[in-house]
Copies of this chain bind each other. A is one copy, B any other.
Amino acid sequence: MTKLIQYEEAGPEVRAVYDAIKAARNVPDVNNFWKAIAVHPPTLRRTWESLSEVMGRGSLDPLTEEMLYLAVSAMNGCAYCIASHTAAARARGMTEAMRGELLAIVAMAAETNRLAEAYAVPIDQAFLDQD
Contacts and interface: CB of A to CB of B under 8 A. Distances in A.
Interface in A101-131: 101-124, 126-131
Copies of this chain per assembly:
6
Interface stretch (A6-14, A15-23, A46-54): A46-54
A25 interface: no
B119 A2 contact: yes
Contact residues on A (Cβ < 8 Å of other chain), bracket:
35 or more
B2 A121 contact: yes
Contacts of A115: 33, 36-37, 43, 47, 103, 107
Interface of A: 1-4, 31-33, 36-37, 39-40, 42-43, 46-47, 50-51, 53-55, 57-60, 64-65, 67-69, 71-84, 86-87, 90, 95-124, 126-131
